[in-house]
Structure 1
Amino acid sequence: MKSGAEHERRWWKEGVVYQIYPRSFADSNGDGIGDVRGIINHLDYLKWLGIDIVWLNPIYRSPNDDNGYDISDYRSIMEDFGTMSDFDELLTGLHDRGIRLIMDLVVNHTSDEHQWFIESRKSRDNPYRNYYIWRPPAADGGVPNDWQSFFEGPAWDFDEATGEYYLHLFSKKQPDLNWENERVREEVYDLMGFWLDKGIDGFRMDVINLISKRPGLPNSRKGSTSRIVGGEHFINGPRLEAYLSQLRGKVLDGRDIMTVGETPDVTPEIGLRYVGKEQGALNMLFSFEHMDIDFGKGGSWDIDSWTPAELFSIFARWQMALNGKGWNSLFLNNHDQPRQVSRFGDDGVYRNRSAKLLALFLHTLQGTPYVYQGEEIGMANVPFTSIDECRDISSRNYWKRAVQEGQNKEEVFRRILYRGRDNARTPMQWNDSPHAGFSSVEPWIACNPDYHRINVSMQKTQEDSILWFYRRLIALRKVHPVFAYGSFEEIAGSSGGLIAYRREDGPSQETLLVVLNWSGDQAVQSPAVNRAIKETEGDRILLTSCEDDPNRLTALAAGEPFLPWEAVAILCDG
């Protein structure tokens, strides 16, 4: 695919998104918890970095069983985070700096402390009963079916007062909403309108492809390949497209906003049903095929090996499948995933180079790149020493189950250190003062002890730092349309060795050649890679993960091996 398909130009295609996890970004009032005013205090940093869009994880009122993804009031701000007045000031401050805001929409489930659920469990004939999914016990008195929760154990909890079970695909304090009920859908459309009318610029829709459950709620199928027991009946369910189409017609049409759906277990073919420019209701989606690359047969806690070639082949397949038909979201970490430099790079000797390589890779693919807070300085996984230091409900539930089963504690904890969501949730490392400049007191979760040498303040003074690399990379996207709109052509990579690909944009007549040595060893060029580099002689290296060398392109064209973790982006004009 050498000539790019024509793409409609949109701001959410050309922008770079910065994801903020409010609890861990900045504490303004000295209670150890990040808050909205803490974000306000750092808006100039986001502007300096060049960010176009902020994605804000949930700040709604919540009992905080799952760090804000259990919402008890969609129209109020959690007290830990501040007030609605603080939010209004944040939104204005972002817009004044030319930065848009998208917020989390969490409507597969609510908190069990939401007023709807409080009413729902009062009696079987309560008007709100059908807002949730209630079922009587099975014939043997047990759970209605064998579905499992993503947070361990059965996806059902028994309510003594009414003698029935309610469905919760996550924590038992997160009962699933019943999207079959039109009143529920209208409630969702109304709360979306509330925030859009306040002036936000769109939504990231949490696990949106779980909202449709198969009628009858059957047991799991024998031989199912779903990641979770019963998943074939509630992931990409039968009425999902109808629900999304109605949501688009009721809320989204006619508004210049951005929508991104979190959609586990989708293929490119399924994804196009949700983001295809003809029929899709969403602008883009988060797919997780690449994030599952190190999952073993036992699921997410079963850690398997992977290779850069395997990872690249997944990205390449999505690039080809969506070109001209839909739009990619580009990410390697977020609030639910380990830190990318620890998982896909080298957080030791080559932290600087490997962090830059990962950034260059993501930002030179077709799609919208997402930067998760701290990624831009190379924040890494955390060396916790005990499960008592962990705060994540999924990690703690896994530990409890595995230990009860008699599994080796050291091995269980090793898996948590690698996979646990707390890796992404430690405080943002602003400087080398106590608590990393995040707070004046002990934070709600421990800081990574490496903050003394990995922090924003230090890297701002070092123009060869990871932070400055991100700033330059983001700036290049604003002046070179090939970054956003160029087609994708694989040159090398899926069979191992160097990874290389070409991007071409017809309207701007720009071509971008990207070559990556995704390893800690030197890499000899293949004939295909060297031929592609030779064709660029006379052009220039836009950005490199290594030290700038004006003669480097000539040396590479002569066949010199690539250095460990060396990545280059070469611009070919005209």
Structure 2
Amino acid sequence: MTNHIPWWQSGTIYQIYPRSFQDSNGDGVGDLPGIIQRLPYLQWLGVDALWLSPIYPSPMADFGYDVADYTNVDPLFGSLDDLDQLVRETHARGMRLILDLVPNHTSDEHPWFVQARATRENPYRDWYIWRDPAPDGGPPNNWLSHFGGPAWTLDPATGQYYLHLFDPKQPDLNWRNPEVRQAIYEVMRFWFARGVDGFRIDVIWMLIKHPELPDNPLDPDWTPAAKPQNRLQRIYDQHQPEVHEIIREMRCVADEFPERVLIGEIYLPIEQLVSYYGSKLDEVHLPYNFNLLKLKDWHASAVRDLVEHYERALPAGAWPNWVLGNHDQPRLATRVGQAAARLGQMLLLTLRGTPTIYYGDELGMENVPIPAEQIVDPQGIRAPGWGRDPERTPMQWDDSLGAGFTTGIPWLPLAADYARRNVALQREGNRSLLTLTRRLLELRRSHAALSVGRYSTCPTANQDVFAYLRSDGTTQLLVLLNFDSQPVSLDMSSHGAEGDILVSSLMDREGSLDLASLNLRPHEGLVVALR
């Protein structure tokens, strides 16, 4: 009898930013009926789970990450009935649906905060974090918002400051209050009961702050070229030891329902990141690993060192995961270039662990320059030059006037290249990045060595090549990735005399391969079945 493998281990997650995926009613903003309309594409592509950025009622100060009602759908995106239909139709196509949970903060228009700021004596006051002004009348400490400026805003009516690690319209909840915990756990149960398969939990490592709220120290490595809000070390406003108790409680809620998954957003170094699996693997199933996404040195040796470091650091039995793009970071093709982005997609889909694909990365979509008058991201407004709008632009479906995304005016500008880089064109192209992505996803489904198999690094004589084995039973697949812009020759005969090419990242090679005299073209990757 084989061990049961959870779907979130063997599958691939696809992140959808709902505002930008598909508009069904011509208002220029993507919505749930639009996602339903595009389910055949996602099934054709071969992904296993969809993660939606927030779709809850919201004033949209941070485009849904300022939640005004945790148990409904914003009319901009549709209705609760639309969400229920999306769950049904996703499941009917053999896929899963993951929602974004935003438990660190609410909107300042959430009924909880409206009550909390009414009077100091209000029962909801302690649901948020309030402090008296400093002796000079300023904020209680030096903490900075991730969006720029102080993390505190004075409420004139009650004479106290409230904490917001993000926008002033996103007050932080007080997770030391057991009533807050129970309220959010009931939110989780509400969606699980409707058939939602899991949550990606926003900024989960920030839920608990140091009880005394001391000043954060200056970061000695900060330079003016970096984000101004990063000039302090975030010692006391995140990654506090008590947060793990909360996450274990969340896991208990998830475990009340079969086959559910919790994924934690955590921007931390590997040693700290892996602690969020829990000492007994009883916290989040997947603490999101953004280390590849944040890697500045996109070379074979740096990537290999990172992969090996992560594999060594994983607790026994923990399942790895990899991310190369999301709604908060510059797009992969912008960071590394189009040629290297193809190689990156092969890396993402052949490493051991659950991969997450950001919508449009299967096309090589790039960041779109946003004119100053069209910037809408609060981080871009409060910290000019650091906005996230460029990686959130509409999906490029075809070469029609609205790129197949909308019949109206899109909420963010379309990419200049959408007529040349879109789904319709790439579906017809045998060598396109979309075709490569689909082929790699097919290989993951047909080869347990790729989806759930073992990983081991293969030494090579060339430092520009990252090589590794994925194996399961008697099947061994050799992955070879040339990170250089020059061709390379390798002798991999220690793994056998010959192999069969399953896919080339350039999509123009197949057949047998002499492992003793193996040639890789610039930025080419191969997946080879060893004989």
Please, what TM-score do these two structures have when normalized by structure 2?
0.93
Alpha-carbon shift at residue 61 of structure 1 (Å): 0.3
What's the CA shift string for 1:474-498, capped at 9, x where partnerless? 1111121111222222224899411
Please point out which of 368, 392, 411 is paired with 1:382: 368
CA contact (8 A) 1:30 1:441 kept: yes
Q: Which residue of 2 aligns with 1:467?
A: 434
SS of residue paired to 1:435: coil
SS of residue paired to 2:455: strand
Alpha-carbon shift at residue 291 of structure 1 (Å): 3.2
Please point out which of 372, 378, 397 is paired with 1:393: 378
Structure 2 counterparts to residues 114-193 of structure 1, below 5 A: 114-193=110-189
SS of residue paired to 1:471: helix
Please point out which of 306, 312, 323 is paired with 1:320: 312
CA contact (8 A) 1:158 1:166 kept: yes
The 1-side partners of 2:185 and 2:204 are apart by: 14
Alpha-carbon shift at residue 373 of structure 1 (Å): 0.8
Matched, 1:20 2:20: no
SS of residue paired to 1:539: strand
Please point out which of 207, 210, 216 is paired with 1:214: 210
Structure 2 counterparts to residues 260-339 of structure 1, below 5 A: 260-267=263-270, 269-276=271-278, 278-294=280-296, 307-322=299-314, 324-339=316-331
Alpha-carbon shift at residue 524 of structure 1 (Å): 4.2
Q: Which residue of 1 aligns with 2:225?
A: none
SS of residue paired to 2:418: helix
User: Identity percentage over the alignment?
Assistant: 40
| Residue type at the aligned position of 2:375 | C
Matched, 1:46 2:71: no
The 2-side partners of 1:88 and 1:10 are apart by: 23
| Residue type at the aligned position of 2:500 | R
Alpha-carbon shift at residue 323 of structure 1 (Å): 7.0
| Residue type at the aligned position of 1:558 | S
| Residue type at the aligned position of 1:238 | P
The 2-side partners of 1:329 and 1:127 are apart by: 41
Matched, 1:523 2:488: yes
Distance 1:396 1:222, change over 3 A: closer
Alpha-carbon shift at residue 547 of structure 1 (Å): 4.1
What's the CA shift string for 1:100-135, capped at 9, x where partnerless? 101001000000010000110011110000000000
Q: Which residue of 2 aligns with 1:537?
A: 497
Please point out which of 478, 482, 497 is paired with 2:449: 482
The 2-side partners of 1:22 and 1:211 are apart by: 25
Matched, 1:107 2:67: no
Q: Which residue of 1 aligns with 2:226?
A: none
The 1-side partners of 2:134 and 2:513 are apart by: 69
| Residue type at the aligned position of 1:542 | L
Q: Which stretch shows the higher mean deviation, 244-253 or 167-176?
A: 244-253
Alpha-carbon shift at residue 139 of structure 1 (Å): 1.5
Alpha-carbon shift at residue 470 of structure 1 (Å): 1.1
Structure 2 counterparts to residues 424-443 of structure 1, below 5 A: 424-443=391-410
Alpha-carbon shift at residue 441 of structure 1 (Å): 1.3
The 2-side partners of 1:547 and 1:252 are apart by: 42
Matched, 1:340 2:332: yes
Alpha-carbon shift at residue 278 of structure 1 (Å): 2.2
Please point out which of 507, 510, 526 is paired with 2:475: 510
Q: Which residue of 2 aligns with 1:91?
A: 87
Alpha-carbon shift at residue 462 of structure 1 (Å): 1.4
Alpha-carbon shift at residue 223 of structure 1 (Å): 5.9
The 1-side partners of 2:255 and 2:221 are apart by: 34
| Residue type at the aligned position of 1:133 | I
| Residue type at the aligned position of 1:358 | G
CA contact (8 A) 2:300 2:482 kept: no
Matched, 1:370 2:356: yes
Matched, 1:458 2:425: yes
The 2-side partners of 1:277 and 1:11 are apart by: 22
Distance 1:223 1:431, change over 3 A: closer
What's the CA shift string for 1:511-536, capped at 9, x where partnerless? 221111113222343xxxx2x35624
Matched, 1:557 2:524: no
CA contact (8 A) 1:275 1:327 kept: no
SS of residue paired to 2:306: helix
Q: Which residue of 1 aligns with 2:236?
A: 233
Distance 1:467 1:250, change over 3 A: closer
Q: Which residue of 1 aligns with 2:506?
A: 546
Distance 1:99 1:197, change over 3 A: same
Distance 1:212 1:225, change over 3 A: farther
Distance 1:277 1:217, change over 3 A: closer
Q: Which stretch shows the higher mean deviation, 245-254 or 41-50?
A: 245-254
Alpha-carbon shift at residue 254 of structure 1 (Å): 4.9
CA contact (8 A) 1:18 1:54 kept: yes
Distance 1:251 1:565, change over 3 A: closer
| Residue type at the aligned position of 2:524 | E
Q: Which residue of 2 aligns with 1:361?
A: 347
The 1-side partners of 2:293 and 2:461 are apart by: 17
Q: Which stretch shows the higher mean deviation, 237-246 or 64-73?
A: 237-246
CA contact (8 A) 1:319 1:366 kept: no
Distance 1:538 1:292, change over 3 A: closer
Alpha-carbon shift at residue 228 of structure 1 (Å): 5.9
Which structure 1 segments of 5+ residues have no match? 1-5, 295-304, 400-412
SS of residue paired to 1:437: coil
SS of residue paired to 2:70: strand
The 2-side partners of 1:371 and 1:166 are apart by: 36
Please report the RMSD computed on the Cα atoms of aligned residues, expressed in angstroms.
Answer: 2.2
Structure whose residues are more often helix by fraction = 1
CA contact (8 A) 2:67 2:110 kept: yes
Alpha-carbon shift at residue 421 of structure 1 (Å): 1.9
Distance 1:306 1:450, change over 3 A: same
Distance 1:426 1:223, change over 3 A: closer
CA contact (8 A) 1:337 1:423 kept: no
The 2-side partners of 1:199 and 1:371 are apart by: 23
Matched, 1:60 2:56: yes
Distance 1:378 1:250, change over 3 A: closer
The 1-side partners of 2:111 and 2:452 are apart by: 46
CA contact (8 A) 2:218 2:232 kept: no
Please point out which of 517, 522, 527 is paired with 1:569: 527
The 1-side partners of 2:90 and 2:506 are apart by: 34
